[in-house]
Chain A
Amino acid sequence: MRPYGTPPRGAVAILRWAVGQHAVADGIVGDLSEEFHERCRSHGRRAAARWFWREALRVALRFRLAPDRARHRASGGGIDGERRRAIVDWREDLAQAVRSLRRAPGFTSLSVGILALAIGTGTTMLAAFDAVLLRGLPVADADRIVTVTLRRGSGAALALSPDDVDEVRRRSRTMDDVAGVSSFGTASLPVTEVERPLVLDVAMVTPSFFDLLGARPELGRLIRPEDGEDGAAPVTVISYRTWQADFGGDPEVVGRRLTTTQDQRSYTIVGVAPPGLDFPIGADYWTLYFPRVSLNLVARLAPGRTPQAARSELLSIASTLERVQAGPGPVDASVASLEEAALGDARPILTTMAAAVAILLLIACVNVGNLLLMRATRRSREVVVRRAIGAGYGQVARLFLVESALLGAAGGTLGLGLAMALLRVLPALAPLSFPRTEMIGQASSPVAAALFVALLALAVFGVLPALAAARGNLASALRVDGRSGTGTRGRRRVQRFLVVSQVALALVLLVGAGLLTRSLQRLAGLELGYDVEGLAIVEVGIPFSEYMGSGMGVMFGEVFDRLRAVPGVTSLTPIMSRPFLGSLGVVRATPVPEGRSEVDVEGISQIPLEIGDHEYFETLGIRILRGRGFTMADGEDARRVAVVSEAVAARFWPGEDPLGERLRLIRDDWWTVVGVAADTRFRGHREPTPTIYLPWRQLQVIPAVTTVAVRADRELETVLPAMRAALHAYDPDLYVWRVDTMADYLADGPLAQPRTGALVLSTFGLAALLLAALGLYGVMSLAVRERTHDIGIRKALGASGAHLRRAVLRDALTMCVMGGGVGLVAALSLSRLLESLLYDVGPADPLAFAGASGVLLAVAVVAAYLPARRATSVDAREALRG
């Protein structure tokens, strides 16, 4: 297997076509491939592919333009007369089609525009979908790789020690190999590369991790089992994304070093992982685990073994592990495919977006088909004349087909350009938490996808009208007044069908948009339990290894006091970690209330601990419901105190007063409950987290608290310089490495995906609505125009304007109601797909359905009203003159 795959096939094909002679082309393609592989090694595959395209096109152009090419080709065999005539025919058709499209600039630009938009977005989604979801992970036999999470019966994840992982590895029969991955997934930490500070997400793995995956490096090598031996130099592998973003794709990156700021560990970069290896999600670099890091399992199943077999074997091995026996409650294991683990929760939203794009594309095709059909109607005379002077059915159909093809080609080309631009910006628009976004950039140029989409569109919208138009009705169309007769009834039925389906499809999108928007509203409107306004989270880089020992608590205390003194800071507290970090940010403990034994609390999951100082509740704006928060007096030597959240109080002391009760938390220390705080959504957004708060100074081991919450009475930007200066003055090695407002944490974290989803679907919904309205308007206009004669007679016979207007409107509304009915039924069954994306909104939410129907109806009435009004202004004499 070649490491870098083949050069872009499209470019090779173009080159071969341009050069013609097989042997010559082979030599050139071979030369270019050779250099392509060198460039893959030095510049990365993407740059190499770009280079290949450029060079191939240049060479192709040279060969095509060369004057002696004709001679070349002529010797290869001439074109016989038969074929030449056919080509000339097609050329004539083409020229004629161009002329006729040019004569109708409005129609042409509208259809091309609609097609370009639809093909552009369709292609983009197809390429992104293909890259992120369908293109396999860069590992060998991905279907045999699984991730395993052990859980207590109560739901808390149970991580294993490196020794446990070894034990499982030794004893397993169902798994060929077992490796460990840091149970926290990835952790964002400040590091320096020479003098350059970076913030990168580290994942920790056991030495056989990459071997188990069967991944191949993009550059250099990956971590090997030898790296885990005693005395081996610490090494790291960086992700493709990091290589591109933070090292500029530098081919010399191997050998450079990353040094962690906090504990000054230094790692030599030995290689770059292949693009798309986003596991654990968000990993910027991988190092070997530290001895105390707890791990989750990733395993390669033995051939023929099922995940279920591995799960039951694992459970039996796990039951003998000390760590598992020590804790309360039964243990369960869940096994997920690597793909599920690496895609996280991105799949439903991507699937939704892809489905939405497909619907939009369909609407666009139907719309353009409708436009073509109307145009064909207007040209019915032309058709009939052509047929009358001897043109066959096929010839006329061909003319229309060539026109459709031209429109498709123009729309396709523009759409391709749009898609390429969109693909470039898409990775930047995707929420930060999106996995594998670098794969979008890796998506092979979307030519194939665009071609596919355009062909599909052509087949849907081009063929039908061509056939319908070519049939033409001699008798009716040749009548002097050009009025329609029964021959157009079939065509009109097709048109109505098209309008009805557009309305139905648009409604499906609108309902989807409505549901996601409602869900977003619910999420954004959640009672958080803390005050977002004016709250910021600041992370301080502290090389605390220099302060190890008893001096650390003093140092932290002094640092906090200095920061508190900064003008504009109203209050400040150390906190455990920044919000929404999932299991990483939290330390858990199993509390045992006084007077009860551990047996009683069995089944109670571990409860997250938060730490803070006397300004904690004030800074975060968490309400104290009973008792008090922390004070300055809750120091190292004072009585151990705790504040519990509402949920914790309700769980341990239902209906009782928790104040004064004691809890055993860590080792044998007793903590007295002095306050009850309101529930918060600081760790997780969708559910409040039951929490026990402790004063940070009272923990037995002073923790390295490098994250502080700051409440300021002015803009963060104006406070920050003084904070940086205060840190620098205390110790030049201290610095702020990350700072974000709480509002940003909410927007980029739990609200990012819902917002993207709602935004995208709403945009698509609006576009669909517009297109459907356009279709309705077009059909109604045509109907009014066709029936001018009719209407004239009615008017002459005394029908009032209002009466006629109502008739036209009724007609339009009938179509709308039909389309709406079909759409509602379709939406009801499709919205179930959205269920996993919805929060506190049912997939059949009546408000979303009613809202979408209402909007659709309102727009439809407007779209139908305009032609209806024209009907009433028909002048009877004019209409009847013929």
Chain B
Amino acid sequence: MFKTLKNTWWAQSFQGESGQALRRQVAKFFYVIFASLIVLSIIFTIFFKVTKLSSAYSGVGFLAKLFLLFFAGYQDNGWSVGEFPKIWTFYLLIGLASALCFRSRIFNIGISGQLIVAGTVAINLLKHFEGTTQNNVTTAHFFLVLFLCCLLSSFASLLIGVLKLYFNTHEVISSIFLNWTFYYVAKHSFTVGRYAAASPTTKSVALAYTTLTNNFFGAAWLHWMLLTLAVLLALACFVLFRWTTLGFKLEAMGMSSKIERYAGFSRSRQTLLALGFSGFLVGIAAFVYYVLKEQEFRVGFGPEVKGFEAFGISLLAYNSPLGVVLTSWFFASLDVQSLWVSTATLEINSEILTLIKGTFTIFAAVATIFDRFKLFRSLKHTFLYLKADKKFLPTYFGFKKQLFLAVLRGWFQSATIFGKTLVKRPTIWKQQKKLREFTTQYLWAAQTDDAQKEQAFLAYNKMKKTVELTLTQAGYYDQRKHTQRQKLLRKTLRYELSVYKNSLLNFQGNN
């Protein structure tokens, strides 16, 4: 069975030299997740300690609870079951749109603006249809709105491409400025326009409740169908980049700035295709988000924040269309759970969950730090050595033990407090103790008795010899091995000896 699996194309793409990049990517994905989980658990532990709230959870316990809720939460309340496919579809489509542009090295910040364009038109048109049909909007009306969403969003996206290609405006400038322009136009239409917000504080325009009851687009199965469609689109993108010339041309554009001159294709055509298709995807996403999920348009303080999460989704997946499916599932699960789970079960504010998204994005952005981190390879090598040599493991662990002890010893040796060692201290300590005994026994006795003076000097010389012997044995007189710390030690010992010698001499002089 394994042999047949090994011969399939997807297994082969992991094997050999050509599959090394793919293997590295998959490994890095797991390293990113593990690293961010470790960091998150530390952060949450500190956060709960500082705020002295929800002591029931440590950092790790909190994360475990959260991940259990990822799967258990859907059964607990009916609301999240209905919302989940919509949010997943939305994140999947915008992540795909962003990944498409990133692959051909176009930085499409305009996703937010395109969402606003499509959402504004959709909500306005549906409000208009509600008025004309007395809240009986038919399925055909919805399809018209969906079509217009895709069309307008594509145009908004193509505008960035046209400005980039024919007017030499960098796409970062044009997309940021168009985002703000579209935002103000939307704000105008929803505060001063025909369908203005009911209250100026909320600044949101909601669809009538009847639009989505007893309707084709209100059915739950359709949302799952839309999700399937989005996944199929991701698959289509995968096929496009893997097997078609068009996909390779798009990818080649990202490789070099002048590659089209060598390969012989039109750069402008490819750019417009990439931007137009990503705009089309954003159009569907806007329809799913504004019409099906939110059923209203909320005017915030700037361009739609949800649009900027597309970069995080596509970055975490390394711009791979199939990876986007997984990462968007992750983001959508966080979103679904955040509202009711955070407040009721986990006792934390829903905004804290932005920490989780943020940490994953950061580690995905700096995934290159894991380039030289080869856990599986070292495990595999250990296993192979073990297989070849039965004695390998004992020697391996023996070596490890020795290494560990050496490191420990080194640590103790380096842990000096004002020049005094922790490990080498006992040997010198003994000598110092002997010196002290010498003073108490002989010197104080010699105060009264002259006969003991000679004995005292003899004893002192003997002591000096033994001290110097121990010092030479310990390598303190070997000039090659001297370190600063050893020099200091020698100095202090010599000083101590000289003090005793002087005391002896003074004692002589006094008599």
Is the A/B pair a real complex?
A: no
